[in-house]
Chain A
């Protein structure tokens, strides 16, 4: 099949896996709220999948703690190519309030390569949908 059609169809069916690292769970609630009927992500073909092997998009929320760091690297390695990593919330981008803490293992892009950053504390579900729509152009 021609490459153009394949990548176009790939953008129509992004399967999301949500990886919460240790944080306040505010961004986790907003990610889950994006799947509710008010903001329906299934209109765009996005499904929330449980296994990293089924996912195209890894939505990582929260600051990466020392306990989660190795496991996050393993989950990243389990996702097949082509993939997109989204850093959702200001904690994933820079650690925000937790930056000087003893359990903070670094901003997300020092651990796995990140494609798109969505600042916010927490970002609205519409902001997350806007981030997904922009990231899909890179798939």
Chain B
């Protein structure tokens, strides 16, 4: 339909085209854009909550000598549940969106977390930063009851199977009675 409005809009478009000069100039996405999720290695404690909650199974845990957490963007739907559930806000959805790859396995991010070894049997049983972080959170509660942090640290660096042994078990029962 040719009428006055289409002709004036065409002429206006002729004089100033509205195309973004995208590949030659960057084009930042709007506020709150759900881009690529990335780890903050200083904050991640290796708890694995993101892996448990991801609805697609895009975040996977691999436990060996150390815990390796991997996000594969081929399965990620950029929903943000990992960001909602992380206790330390260590995984955030950034605004990066240029993710094209030739090999699909390269579209991934890893982070590695050390394990803590048991003080009696030497087996690796728990992510070390998560243990440290839980001690930090317990500090104000312990100070209120005048218990030193050191005692808790010695008790907790023991793997679950070693905790079953009679001498360890009695140590823990004593601690809990003091805790009241």
Q: Indicate yes or no for A touching B, C-beta below 8 A.
A: yes
Distance in Å from the Cβ of A95 to the closest Cβ of chain B?
A: 8
- In the complex, A122 Cα to B13 Cα: how many Å? 29
- In the complex, A37 Cα to B18 Cα: how many Å? 7
Residue contact B23 to A96, C-beta cutoff 8 Å? no
Task: Specify which of B17, B23, B29, B73 is in contact with A90 (CB 8 Å cutoff).
Answer: B73
Q: Is the interface of B mostly helix, strand, loop or mixed?
A: loop
Residue contact A96 to B77, C-beta cutoff 8 Å? yes
Residue contact B74 to A119, C-beta cutoff 8 Å? yes
Residue contact B97 to A126, C-beta cutoff 8 Å? yes
Interface string of B49-93 (1 = CB under 8 A from A): 000000110000000000000001111111100000000000000
Cβ contacts under 8 Å, B55 to chain A? 97
Interface residues on chain A, number (Cβ under 8 Å)? 31
Residue contact A39 to B20, C-beta cutoff 8 Å? yes
Residue contact B19 to A43, C-beta cutoff 8 Å? yes
**Does A64 have its Cβ within 8 Å of any Cβ on chain B?**
no
Please report A residues at the B interface, Cβ cutoff 8 Å: 37-40, 43, 90, 93-97, 99, 109, 115-121, 123-124, 126-127, 129-131, 133-135, 138
